[in-house]
Amino acid sequence: MADTKLTTTLAATKAAGRAALIGYLPAGFPTVDGGTAAIKALIEGGCDVVEVGLPHSDPVLDGAVIQTADDIALRGGVKIKDVLATVAEVAAAHPAVPVLVMTYWNPVDRYGVARFAADLAAAGGAGCILPDLPYEESVEWRKAAEEHGLDTVFVVAPSSTDHRLAEVTAAGSGFVYAAAVMGVTGTRAAVGNLAEDLVARTRATTSLPVCVGLGVSDADQAAEVAGFADGVIVGSAFVKRLLEADEPAAGLAAVRALAAELAEGVRRK
């Protein structure tokens, strides 16, 4: 695949001598308009890349915090068209920032693989993270994604064998999502000690950037992960700030402030 907005952005942060900050929030949380504003706030605070989650009734990778946000979004009636509208509005407001969709496979399959890829590209999306799609079953998606210039990011875990890492990274593009700990997402008091080893094992198989997610919630943790990874992915900590806010404006201010704090962390030497 030719250079994409995502690969160009990650190359730029590497050239600047730092890791990228990648922020995640689900679409439709707390409302469609409120979720769009919150994702824009992540960028305004300093995120280099954003992930727009497609709320799912059975989010097997996500912990209680993101499940709560997904439940709120689904009870609010969010649909795939709203997710794509969120991508479109964020991409239009921040054309230099890659906007990814993170989704489980079932909604894409039901929407139609070719249709989803085409509509995501038309919305200005940069690619997809598909945590439950085995690379062996991803041929149809990858073909559609490549036709529309979309990156396909696969997730690897500490339990992945070296052989498996080589197979998965060969199929992916953009970056590799390294899950820092075993289990579901959620903020943690300390970054899992499996992360650095996983990044090293993954890098031995690919030239793709390796970005670490699951557990980072403050600047010190971001700085720690940025010391050995190409990107730091933060989701639950942003969702918690929105859940804890008394009113929408306070939530936006809180996620913007956290993004700024984390952005300082990934730049710390």
* Domain annotation covers residue 173: no
pLDDT digits (tens, 9 = 90+) for 190-249: 555 778 899 999 999 999 999 998 778 899 999 999 999 999 999 999 999 999 999 999
Task: Centre a 10 Å sphere on the Cβ of residue 219 and count the other Cβ atoms it contains.
Answer: 18
Tokens in use for 164?
A: 């498996």
* Domain annotation covers residue 198: no
* Domain annotation covers residue 227: yes
Question: Which of 263, 10, 260 has the alpha carbon at shortest distance from 126?
Answer: 10
CA 198 to CA 12: how far, in whole Å?
23
pLDDT grade, residue 182 (50/70/90)? very low
Question: Which of 208, 242, 223 has the alpha carbon at shortest distance from 69?
Answer: 242
User: Is-catalytic flag, 246?
Assistant: no
CA 160 to CA 77: how far, in whole Å?
36
Tally of domains within the chain = 1
| Burial of residue 253 (number of CB atoms within 10 Å: 0-12, 13-18, 19+) | middle
Catalytic residue among 48, 58, 62, 247: 62
Residue % of the chain over a pLDDT of 90:
83
Tokens 């639950």, located at residue:
236
What pTM, to 2 d.p., does this model score? 0.94
* Domain annotation covers residue 205: no
**DSSP assignment string, 220-258:** HHHHHHHTT-SEEEE-HHHHHHHHH-SSHHHHHHHHHHH
* Domain annotation covers residue 147: yes
Determine contact, residues 79/108, Cβ cutoff 8 Å.
Answer: no
* Domain annotation covers residue 112: yes
Q: Residue 120 sits in which domain range? A: 19-153+215-267
pLDDT digits (tens, 9 = 90+) for 75-113: 999 999 999 999 999 999 999 999 999 999 999 999 999
Specify the pLDDT at position 187. Answer: 52
Catalytic residue among 48, 51, 196, 230: 51
Specify the pLDDT at position 1. Answer: 60
Question: Which of 268, 210, 263 has the alpha carbon at shortest distance from 238?
Answer: 263
* Domain annotation covers residue 167: no
Identify the CATH number of the domain in which residue 36 sits.
3.20.20.70
* Domain annotation covers residue 207: no
User: Is-catalytic flag, 62?
Assistant: yes
User: What mean pLDDT do residues 21-41 have?
Assistant: 97
